[in-house]
């Protein structure tokens, strides 16, 4: 699959492209990207834009302030967000809409479905969604932390078929190209193996929050949903011409042959676990109280938990029908009597329809 055959495209732009000097938004690198979006829409394709840059855009407004302060960064994001949106709007003669999200919005199933409905409605009306993390209000417990992974979550929520992650390098190399003259650009990656992840280094930009590792994490999220993913150089104007012509100017990550079901994908790649259930090693379907060896963390009924075996192996993520408080209470009682009473009224700890078992990717 190439851009030519894609019908719904998510493009992610980093802070270094929008505010390269951290002194406000600059159009230098954005013109080519905006033209690419316009041309995609002219071809009948739907586009969603995930744009970083609010903090970098607002940085110059806070002189004589400690910019490492969390409170100042939030204020910078609030001030810079308006400039970032107005900068994008100057390039388009069609309407756009701003969506500010946190991981708390995405990991809650009802709010996630509400986000999906909003995105679908905007696209139906020909409105360009411009999405960013809500850095002005988010906390450590609620933030995604980087827009690479946010873009993959948005692509999955929007049922996109293509994700383009713009970077400051040409794509994924087999070694750091800044330190190794013989580094080789990988044209196509069929599977994200531990060996592929081992090729990543740290961030190459002083402005953004993500490095190549977060881009690979995003590619894993997207490809498992059946979304072809590109990592390309957003600073190179030829990148977007090549994409429009159906070429691959960077690294292309192939989607799963059999994508994960939407609900299971959300459970695996978007919902974050609030605790852990430790169970005996082996296969499992529905989980009962008797199967649980230990309970870690503090979570409510309906929240997502990680299921591990006693030897530490991650087995699944699932929605738990019991709170950690109730499970710990049961563990302290006569298990046979209490388990039967509770499970007759509530049911299994985890239902078969609410579990995402970790498996090897489809060939």
CA dist., res. 123 & res. 96, Å (int): 10
Q: What is the residue whose two structure tokens read 């590109």?
A: 230
The alpha-carbon radius of gyration of the chain (Å, integer) is 22
* Residue 351 labeled ligand binder: no
Q: CB atoms < 10 A from the CB of 121, how many?
A: 12
Crossing angle between the packed helical segments 147-157 and 109-124, to the nearest 10 degrees: 70
CA dist., res. 179 & res. 196, Å (int): 18
* Residue 209 labeled ligand binder: yes
Q: What is the strand order of the sheet 162-167 is part of?
A: 96-101, 128-133, 46-51, 8-13, 162-167, 228-233, 251-253, 188-189
* Residue 224 labeled ligand binder: no
Q: Are strands 314-319 and 355-357 parallel, antiparallel or unpaired?
A: antiparallel
CA dist., res. 275 & res. 278, Å (int): 10
Q: What is the largest CA-CA distance in the chain?
A: 70
Among the listed residues 357, 274, 325, 348, the one whose alpha carbon sits nearest the alpha carbon of residue 108: 274
Burial (CB count within 10 angstroms: exposed 0-12, middle 13-18, buried 19+), residue 63: exposed
* Residue 167 labeled ligand binder: yes
Q: What is the residue whose two structure tokens read 């609010």?
A: 54
* Residue 208 labeled ligand binder: no
* Residue 147 labeled ligand binder: yes
CA dist., res. 15 & res. 347, Å (int): 48
* Residue 52 labeled ligand binder: yes
Please check whether residue 276 is in contact with residue 328, taking contact to mean a CB–CB distance below 8 angstroms. Answer: no
CA dist., res. 28 & res. 20, Å (int): 9
Among the listed residues 169, 163, 236, the one whose alpha carbon sits nearest the alpha carbon of residue 208: 169
* Residue 168 labeled ligand binder: yes
* Residue 153 labeled ligand binder: no
Annotated binding site for ATP: 12, 167-168, 209-215
Annotated binding site for substrate: 52, 135, 147
Annotated binding site: 12, 52, 135, 147, 167-168, 209-215
């Amino acid at each position: 699959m190439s851009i030519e055959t894609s019908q719904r495209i998510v493009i992610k732009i980093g802070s270094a492209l929008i505010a390269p000097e951290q002194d406000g938004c600059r159009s230098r690198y954005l013109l080519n990207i905006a033209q690419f979006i316009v041309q995609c829409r002219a071809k009948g394709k739907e586009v969603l834009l995930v744009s970083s840059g609010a903090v970098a855009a607002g940085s110059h407004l806070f002189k004589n302030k400690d910019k490492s302060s969390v409170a100042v960064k939030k204020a910078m994001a609030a001030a810079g967000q308006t400039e970032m949106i107005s900068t994008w709007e100057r390039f388009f003669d069609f309407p756009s809409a701003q969506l500010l999200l946190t991981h708390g919005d995405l990991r809650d199933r009802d709010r996630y479905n509400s986000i999906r409905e909003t995105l679908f409605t905007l696209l139906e009306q020909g409105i360009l969604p411009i999405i960013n993390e809500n850095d002005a209000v988010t906390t450590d417990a609620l933030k995604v932390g980087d827009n690479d992974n946010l873009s993959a979550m948005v692509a999955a929520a929007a049922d996109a078929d293509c994700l383009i992650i713009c970077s400051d390098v040409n794509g994924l190399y087999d070694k750091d190209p800044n330190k190794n003259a013989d580094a080789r650009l990988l044209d196509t990656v069929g599977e994200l193996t531990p060996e592929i992840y081992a090729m990543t280094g740290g961030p190459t930009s002083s402005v953004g929050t993500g490095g190549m590792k977060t881009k690979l994490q995003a590619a894993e999220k997207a490809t498992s949903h059946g979304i072809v993913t590109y990592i390309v150089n957003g600073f190179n104007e030829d990148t977007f011409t090549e994409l429009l012509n159906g070429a691959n100017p960077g690294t292309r990550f192939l989607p799963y042959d059999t994508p994960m079901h939407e609900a299971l994908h959300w459970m695996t790649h978007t919902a974050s676990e609030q605790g852990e259930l430790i169970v005996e090693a082996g296969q499992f379907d529905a989980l009962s109280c008797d199967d649980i060896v230990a309970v870690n963390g503090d979570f409510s009924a309906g929240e997502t938990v990680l299921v591990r075996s006693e030897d530490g192996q991650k087995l699944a993520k699932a929605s738990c029908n019991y709170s950690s408080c109730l499970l710990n209470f049961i563990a302290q009682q006569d298990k046979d009597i209490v388990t039967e009473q509770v499970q007759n009224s509530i049911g299994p700890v985890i239902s078969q329809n609410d579990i995402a078992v970790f498996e090897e990717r489809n060939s």
